[in-house]
Structure 1
């Protein structure tokens, strides 16, 4: 008997010693086992891009091709926590990383069935598995158990739970419960009902197998199992359990918010987006602008107009409220081209800035400008600007020249105020970054559109005029801080806004009922590039600036669609929307602006009661025009060609020649270069000869001079040639170069 007791005691001692050694070995292994380093590097976060009102624009996909929005423990909600523990680890709060009871049950079931029937992995083990994927072997299971045990010693249960639900796959590219709750239910985790929480908690068990969009019934069956476990675990009483089983779970339609696409793409290019990006965009306005653009393009489709862009800026802040980059972002070919940020030929949209430079030098809205044939010699040939209608108005007030978008006066003013470099510099101060070439490459044509601008920067430059001369960088993000700078005098900017809002002044070219006419004050300007490849319309009130571009991304020409017919209707409708939604106002007249009667014979002929706004301390304009003995208006010499071209004009005007002024060749200018096109008729190879003086005679040793319809001309042929003009015995020479193309 004693012998048996001794043997029994020795056996239990052996068992105890063996268990002790196993326990000690386990503890040593746990201590020495390193944790996966990736636990300290959580998955990349998907930036949630929102408009200024919190409306979702887009959830940005991460580098690992998933949508991830991590949540904290406090954001999980009791229902979701209970559902996840019921689905994955009911003894989560009791075990130390490994649930040995579940391990024993799994081993027993496997032995009885001859195959693996159920798993025993805890949430902690699954977290290790997710952080450090390895081949599925018994050795891997052992390593995961050791690392799970170690992790439980370093992290709290709450840390482990939140790390787990933020890493696992819920299907449909949703990584983590936060992104999944938003995708499937459009709710935060804490807002889920017990039924919704159980439904969501069941998805990680088989994200593809339980995909609600394809296998809703299968996912619902899994949900019912988890609800039953929650009831059995005591977290749902009988009544709550029955309500949850009876609740109809509604899944959001498949797809995620993906709107204001060009705007969001532009954001991504400007800044690395963090977890949440609140932008300046106003989504309802952006949608309206896009719908309006699409409607307009549909009407113009037969005239080869395929695309356009819209930008709206809030003047007080610089906030970009709308950015529409194309007709259809998903259109093959050019849909994703952002027309709001693509450089295009500016057309006439830069003229207001030229005239503002002139007003700084003493011009006023009443200043008389010469709209007459004018040539400028350049390094590449003769630059002879033409107006849109290929007609000349002669003497014209600045207000009318601007309102009717006359090219020739704008070019003449640019030359008078210091040339291209000055305009280029001022446009850069207004935020235009596309003028990177040397000024000489743009030439005087800069003011009429031979340079490229982007709609976004052009609209923001006009917003500086709407702030009465104060430039502020545009803003895309709500948290941006910008600084403003004055670029134009407030009085001159007010005069410019007044001229651009004068519908009567622009009626000669655009009529009184065009898209530029409003029943409230709006300053507006259009532009059309060469061959109708681009057209623009920009309008502003004190509150908002709206810019529109219409054209084709492949650069093909539209069929005679100008800015007033293409872009202006879109601008008009967006302005009307802004007025209806936000109201509108107009600029208060600054101190120092006063109304005066315009003292001019020309103005007397047109309207004896003409008045105009002037800066109060500006000198009163002198009476430049006088009447000669025959009652005709004397004009300066630069008007001679314009007057001589019409018998009617000769009856009304006389060109006043300065006494003693020497003869002068007006055209061609010395050094002019002409290019001959062999495909054009011979008459196109003739150039008009114009000069100042008495009776003019022309000759050349190498070219044939003659007359066509009473106008002196010279017929061109390749080479370098000298031309001689004789007036009252005085000879004046010039030279030109002709190149055969």
Structure 2
């Protein structure tokens, strides 16, 4: 209780002057209970999912700690009883001022010269609502006290007793930064106000007069209050429990499912933003990713991110920016961070080649060693398994993620044309011209974000139609037809976060701007998108590289692609079914390499768990107009005859290669004048050079530096030695059919 300032003893006539002033003192307009409740702002801001369920709370006001407004019926009856016993025993009898208590306080002042106490809960509430009525340094002047009493009586005229108690408990400061009963119950005892025990209630009531008192003082006062309230209390128990009050308050967020989304948007205390996220899918995606990262902990994998998209509307249903329990940089948003794409861009390369009629799914590409002169030196791409398959169809090359055929395809299509297609698909970071990226763009040397990746694959799922993603309820809707995701969305403000990458097709880093086009628009031929999807769903063709037993095999139809960046720094797995697109990345935010982890073993298991637990989508996408299926054979028979999809006008029943018997024999690898650089950090067994002959007659052999090596009928694996070398292809009579000179530089690893 505060002191009333009084000079000397209070004369008897003071009571008359006091009452006269009380009746005549002007008072500010009394706010209604609803006005106070509406104006209340917790120190937290809240993120809601599409069903208006809270999925994340974030503290944004550091001046005080307040949680959501607590209705009176959700407050422990023990606390109400203890509060009234300590602060206002005649609360239900008076009309704002307890005249009996006030008379006692005045009599005490007359006898001792100091007026102390006498404030009812309503008077204390009046001071909470009007800063001009609050005590300064624990003291109030007479006029200030009179205005406080007048305000209390005005409140009692328009408020119910229950409303007064409810507002008081939500506004009062208890201890330190804790304001209101919700934050106090959570911060001191880790529970809701409804769960407070009698002992805890007594301690809270004892705190109010002296919020910063020590544990001993609080427990003594609580013991006295308990006796007044008629509680059966053990003062020793109160002493022990009071020690917890001296500990720093600790409030654990009730729900924290989307920290990276919350950090982008939540700024103002009490604000509520509705997202397109689904709480159930958000939780499942995070759990699946955490489990996989735990399984990979022994392989130096600490971080991961995941997205789930609704194909029809572009709504982001799950957004997991980081989930690694061992992460050293958990605040980094892995959804927006840029990493090397690896093989994940190949579907768009082959889609462009199909669209331009350069290739069909049955066209044959050469998966054999390739050396390209570039501005940076000789470029020698390798396959994931460091093996070569020879002649393969486009279907096999894409499904098996073979690198050499992809490089041959980008040479055919053009790097700049490929870059332009990627820009159309939302890969906004590719701002240099094609020469900067070179042929390595086909193998994913560019840096992209998981957000961009997911929406590009969603474009494949939508038959080549591109549209922006939606993360907030007020983002412009996309019209791909009927919505498939739950459709409960309320108002929210658009993203004004200063730094994150834009949603593909949406707002950029310069602040709010209009979506350039929220209407879906075509960036890829529908037939080409369908054929690419059919290849990515082909488990048999995929088995050439990954085998039949792999985590890309889902319960229902799906199309999926994996990717691994240079030195195993990034793993991707991105795929879709008719309703959803799921994208997963694993790696390390610091950029260090994982140990023997690929897209199949790294990101794919989490991807499989997420997509298999989505609502079933049994339908296989129907072929669009302009796509024809017919049986095709390859000659020579490098692959069995099969039913294949073609764009109308490109169909054929036979893919016939030139007769090798009439092609001159030659050395295909290594090429003339090539320079092979050894890397001391790579084990020698992983730096073999394959010697390959084309159209070599039966009985021909390789000769290196005058030494016969082996038959030229199949590739010969040679461990390179530094120096200049000459490789010859010899016929059955020992005659030289072809010869090349090449160099090996550097020191092999150990």
TM-score, reference length from structure 1: 0.69
Tell me if the contact between 1:601 and 1:633 (Cα under 8 Å) persists in the aligned partners. no
In 2 relative to 1, CA 305–154 (structure 1 residues): closer, same or farther, beyond 3 Å? closer
Distance in 2 (CA, whole Å) between partners of 1:180 and 1:481 is 41
2:436 aligns to what? 441
Distance in 1 (CA, whole Å) between partners of 2:378 and 2:157 is 81
Number of positions where the alignment pairs a residue of Structure 1 with one of Structure 2:
625
Match of 1:319 among 315, 318, 342: 315
2:104 aligns to what? 105
In 2 relative to 1, CA 398–626 (structure 1 residues): closer, same or farther, beyond 3 Å? closer
Higher Cα Rg, which structure? 1
Verify: 1:268 aligned to 2:286, yes or no. Answer: no
In 2 relative to 1, CA 590–85 (structure 1 residues): closer, same or farther, beyond 3 Å? farther
Tell me if the contact between 1:434 and 1:453 (Cα under 8 Å) persists in the aligned partners. yes
Tell me if the contact between 1:260 and 1:324 (Cα under 8 Å) persists in the aligned partners. no
Where do 1:26-425 residues align within 5 Å?
30=26, 43=41, 45-52=43-50, 55-69=53-67, 71=69, 88=87, 99-109=98-108, 118-128=117-127, 132=131, 134-136=135-137, 138-140=139-141, 142-146=143-147, 149=150, 157-158=158-159, 161=164, 164-170=168-174, 175-177=179-181, 202=205, 205=208, 255-257=251-253, 259-261=255-257, 263-270=258-265, 272=267, 275-328=271-324, 333-362=328-357, 363-420=359-416, 422-425=417-420
Distance in 1 (CA, whole Å) between partners of 2:390 and 2:476 is 49
Distance in 2 (CA, whole Å) between partners of 1:681 and 1:257 is 49
1:473 aligns to what? 468
Distance in 2 (CA, whole Å) between partners of 1:207 and 1:588 is 73
**Which deviates further from its counterpart, 402-411 or 376-385?**
376-385
In 2 relative to 1, CA 171–641 (structure 1 residues): closer, same or farther, beyond 3 Å? farther
Verify: 1:455 aligned to 2:424, yes or no. Answer: no
Verify: 1:596 aligned to 2:614, yes or no. Answer: no
Verify: 1:502 aligned to 2:541, yes or no. Answer: no
Tell me if the contact between 2:207 and 2:218 (Cα under 8 Å) persists in the aligned partners. no
1:552 aligns to what? 588
Show CA shifts across 1:132-158 (max 9, x none).
Answer: 365335445642543663687699744
Tell me if the contact between 1:687 and 1:714 (Cα under 8 Å) persists in the aligned partners. no
How far did residue 516 of structure 1 move? 1.5
Match of 2:639 among 586, 601, 606: 606
How far did residue 354 of structure 1 move? 1.4
How far did residue 613 of structure 1 move? 0.9
Tell me if the contact between 1:468 and 1:489 (Cα under 8 Å) persists in the aligned partners. yes
How far did residue 164 of structure 1 move? 4.3
Tell me if the contact between 2:364 and 2:394 (Cα under 8 Å) persists in the aligned partners. yes
- Runs (5+) with no aligned partner, structure 1: 1-13, 229-252, 646-665, 693-703, 719-741
How far did residue 564 of structure 1 move? 1.0
- Runs (5+) with no aligned partner, structure 2: 1-10, 232-248, 478-517, 696-722, 730-738
Tell me if the contact between 1:600 and 1:624 (Cα under 8 Å) persists in the aligned partners. yes
- Secondary structure of 2:305 counterpart: strand
Tell me if the contact between 1:687 and 1:713 (Cα under 8 Å) persists in the aligned partners. no
Show CA shifts across 1:291-343 (max 9, x none).
Answer: 433433343333333332332223233333333344446x5733333333322
- Secondary structure of 1:387 counterpart: coil
How far did residue 417 of structure 1 move? 2.5
Which structure has greater helix proportion?
1
TM-score, reference length from structure 2: 0.68
1:655 aligns to what? none
Tell me if the contact between 1:260 and 1:286 (Cα under 8 Å) persists in the aligned partners. no
How far did residue 505 of structure 1 move? 0.3
Tell me if the contact between 2:260 and 2:321 (Cα under 8 Å) persists in the aligned partners. no
Higher relative contact order (CA 8 A, sep 6+): 2
Distance in 2 (CA, whole Å) between partners of 1:207 and 1:585 is 68
In 2 relative to 1, CA 595–583 (structure 1 residues): closer, same or farther, beyond 3 Å? closer
1:586 aligns to what? 620
2:236 aligns to what? none
Tell me if the contact between 1:124 and 1:164 (Cα under 8 Å) persists in the aligned partners. no
Tell me if the contact between 2:128 and 2:171 (Cα under 8 Å) persists in the aligned partners. no
In 2 relative to 1, CA 688–152 (structure 1 residues): closer, same or farther, beyond 3 Å? farther
Distance in 1 (CA, whole Å) between partners of 2:683 and 2:190 is 73
Tell me if the contact between 2:573 and 2:604 (Cα under 8 Å) persists in the aligned partners. yes
Calculate the aligned-residue CA RMSD, in Å.
5.3
How far did residue 506 of structure 1 move? 1.1
